[in-house]
A and B are shown apart, each in its own frame.
Chain A
Amino acid sequence: MAKEPSEQIIWDEERGEPGFGFIRPHFHQEIFPTSQIVGYVLSLALTLTSFLLVIHRTFSASPLLVAILILAVGQAGVQVGIFMHLRESRGPAWQVIPLFLGFFIAGGMIAMSIWIMMFKWGGY
Chain B
Amino acid sequence: MSFMAVYLFYLYMIHTLFPENVRQPTELGADVMIIGTGIIIVSVLTRYKKWRWLWSEWLTTVDHKKIGVLYLISALAMLFRGGVDALMLRTNLALPNIQPIGANEYNEVFTTHGTIMIFFMAMPFIFALFNAVVPLMIGARDVAFPRLNAISYWLFAFGALLLNISFVLGGSPNAGWTAYAPFTERAFTPGVGENYYFMSLLIAGIGTTMTGINFLVTIIRMRAPGMTFMRMPLFVWTTLTTSALIIFAFPPLTVALALTLIDRLFQASFFTLGHGGMPMMYVNLFWLFGHPEVYIVVMPAFGIFSEVVATFSGKQLFGYTAMVLSVVAIMLFAYGTWVHHFFTMGAGPSVNVFFGLSTMLIAIPTGVKIFNWIFTMWGGRIRMTVAMLYQIAFIPTFAIGGATGVMFAVVPADYQLHNGYFLIAHFHNVLIGGTLFGLLSGMHYWWPKMFGFSLNERLGKLAFWLFFIGFWITFTPQYMLGFEGMTRRLYTYPLGYGWHMLNVISTLGAFTMGAGFVVLVYDIVWSLFKMPRDATGDPWNGRTLEWALPSPVPEYNFARIPVVTSRDMFWWMKRHHATIADQLKPNDIRELDLPKNSPVPFILGLGFFIFGFGMVFEWWLLAFLGLAIIIGSLIYTGFDYDEHKQVSADEILHIEQSLGRLQG
Contacts and interface: CB of A to CB of B under 8 A. Distances in A.
A109 B227 contact: no
B353 A124 contact: yes
B349 A124 contact: yes
Given A2-B591, A11-B221, A98-B244, A17 B284 contact: no
Given A3-B590, A116-B339, A15 B248 contact: no
B89 interface: no
A40 interface: no
Contacts of B220: 94
B647 to A, nearest CB: 12
A24 to B, nearest CB: 16
A1 B284 CA distance: 55
A16 B227 CA distance: 9
Given A2-B590, A4-B561, A98-B247, A116 B228 contact: no
A30 interface: no
B329 to A, nearest CB: 14
Q: Is the interface of A mostly helix, strand, loop or mixed?
A: loop
Contacts of B351: 115-116, 120
Contacts of A15: 223-228
B348 interface: yes
Interface stretch (A41-49, A62-70, A100-108): A100-108
B592 interface: yes
A88 to B, nearest CB: 14
A119 B346 contact: yes
B561 A17 contact: no
Contacts of B592: 4
- Kindly state the interface size class of chain A when it binds its partner: 20 to 34
Interface in B203-252: 216, 220-221, 223-228, 244, 247-248, 252
A6 B278 contact: no
B281 A123 contact: no
Nearest to B592: A4
B215 to A, nearest CB: 13
B348 A121 contact: yes
B288 interface: yes
Contacts of A1: 591, 646
Contacts of B278: 117
A113 B284 contact: yes
B284 A117 contact: yes
Given A1-B591, A15-B225, A116 B247 contact: no
Contacts of A14: 225
Contact of B225 (A6, A120, A122, A124): A6
A94 B353 CA distance: 36
A6 to B, nearest CB: 5
A17 B220 CA distance: 11
Interface string A1-29: 11110100001101111000000000000
Interface residues of B, number: 34
A119 B344 CA distance: 12
B252 to A, nearest CB: 7
Contacts of A98: 216, 244, 247
A123 B350 CA distance: 8
Nearest to B342: A116
Interface string B300-312: 0000000000000
Given A117-B278, A119-B348, A105 B590 contact: no
Contact of B350 (A3, A91, A124): A124
Contacts of B591: 1-3
A15 to B, nearest CB: 6
A112 B139 CA distance: 41
B360 interface: no
A117 B226 CA distance: 49
Nearest to A123: B350
Contact of A16 (B226, B346, B560): B226
Contacts of A16: 226, 228
Nearest to A91: B221
A108 B226 CA distance: 37
Nearest to A94: B220
A123 B252 CA distance: 30
Given A94-B220, A102-B248, A108 B335 contact: yes
B280 interface: yes
A3 B220 CA distance: 22
B237 to A, nearest CB: 15
A101 B331 CA distance: 11
A73 B512 CA distance: 58
Contacts of A117: 278, 280-281, 284, 347
Interface string A79-112: 0000000000001001000100110010011000
Contacts of B244: 98, 101
**Most chain A Cβ neighbours within 10 Å, of B216, B221, B252, B288:** B221
A101 B350 contact: no
Contacts of A105: 248, 335
Contacts of A116: 284, 339, 347, 351
Closest 4 CB pairs of A and B: A120-B348, A116-B347, A14-B225, A94-B220
9 contacts: A2-B591, A4-B592, A16-B226, A16-B228, A91-B221, A98-B247, A105-B335, A113-B281, A113-B284
Interface of B: 216, 220-221, 223-228, 244, 247-248, 252, 278, 280-281, 284, 288, 335-336, 339, 346-351, 353, 560-561, 590-592, 646
Interface of A: 1-4, 6, 11-12, 14-17, 91, 94, 98, 101-102, 105, 108-109, 113, 115-124
